[in-house]
Amino acid sequence: MNHDIVDPGLADGGRLRIEWSGRRMPVLDTIRERFRLRKPLEGRTVGACMHVTAETANLMLALRDGGASVVLCASNPLSTQDDVAAALVAEGIPVFARRGEDSATFYEHINAVLDTQPEIVFDDGADMVTVLHKERASQVVLGGLEETTTGVIR
């Protein structure tokens, strides 16, 4: 599995953080359990460009449990939690994110996610969608979402 994170050895700390935040997300937990049983995303690939945090990790795990192949990169390198990235990789979810990564690496990571040919795109800030429109217009995407009003305006 391809990924680019700071240190896989940080996974235990990230797992604790993910579990802690997950206990405070009962609605997502209910959805995750339903996804686990029904597998509504079976065979789909989800590419996400979002803050790599414990909260996002719980969403990625729910999507994975719903049958999706999930790939994540950072929407903001300054908010990336390296231990959470490591924990997701340990769970089998490819992550391309390093806290403080430079602009060139940021776009390499977006392209690494898009190289997996996601059919569903989650974005925060419209960086991934912008790359799709400007550089990968022929890539097929069934649907996507933008998390911010800034991205919608963009």
Domains, the chain, with CATH or none: 8-153 (3.40.50.1480)
For 65-119, how does the pLDDT look when each residue is reduced to its tens digit (9 = 90+)?
999 999 999 999 999 999 999 999 999 999 999 999 999 999 999 999 999 999 9
Q: Binning pLDDT at 50, 70 and 90, where does residue 151 land?
A: low
Q: What is the mean pLDDT of residues 29-53?
A: 98
Distance, in Å, from the CA atom of 4 to the CA atom of 74, rounded to the nearest integer, reads: 11
Q: How many CA atoms lie within 13 Å of 105's alpha carbon, on the beta-carbon side?
A: 14
Q: Where are the alpha helices (DSSP H) in 69-114?
A: 82-90, 103-114
The structure's pTM equals 0.95
Q: Is the pLDDT of residue 40 over 80?
A: yes
Q: How many CB atoms lie within 10 A of CB 130?
A: 14
Confidence of residue 130 (pLDDT cuts 50, 70, 90): very high
Q: At 1, is the pLDDT very low, low, confident or very high (cuts 50, 70, 90)?
A: confident
Determine the pLDDT at residue 147.
87
